[in-house]
Structure 1
Amino acid sequence: MGRRRAREVALQILYQVDLTGAPPEEAFSFLPEVTFVEEKDLAFARELVFGTLAHREALDRVIAGLSHDWPLYRMAAVDRNIMRLALYEIFHREDIPNSVAVNEAVELAKTFGGHDSSRFVNGILGQVVKDPGRFLAAFEGEGK
Structure 2
Amino acid sequence: MATRTQARESVIGLLYAYDLGNEGIVKYVDEILEDKKIRNKQKEFALDLFNGVVNNIEKIDEEIVSHLNQGGIKDTGSVEKSILRLAIYEILFKDLDKAIVINEAIELSKRLASDGAPKFINGLLDKISKA
**TM-score, normalisation: structure 1:** 0.82
Q: 2:20 maps to what in 1?
A: 19
Q: 2:117 maps to what in 1?
A: 117
Superposition RMSD in Å: 1.7
Deviation at 1:26, TM superposition (A): 3.3
Q: Is the 2:33–2:43 Cα contact (8 Å) retained in structure 1?
A: no
- Map of 1:51-66 to 2, 5 A cutoff? 51-66=52-67
Question: Quick one: percent identity of the two aligned structures?
Answer: 28
Structure 2 residue runs of 5 or longer lacking an equivalent are: none
Q: 1:137 maps to what in 2?
A: none
Q: Is the 1:34–1:42 Cα contact (8 Å) retained in structure 2?
A: no
**TM-score, normalisation: structure 2:** 0.90
Q: Does structure 1 residue 38 correspond to structure 2 residue 43?
A: no
> 1:32 & 1:125 partners in 2: Cα distance?
26
Query: How many residue pairs were aligned?
Result: 130
Structure 1 residue runs of 5 or longer lacking an equivalent are: 132-144
- Map of 1:1-144 to 2, 5 A cutoff? 1-28=2-29, 31=32, 34-94=35-95, 96-131=96-131
> 2:42 & 2:31 partners in 1: Cα distance?
17
Q: 1:135 maps to what in 2?
A: none
> 1:101 & 1:63 partners in 2: Cα distance?
16
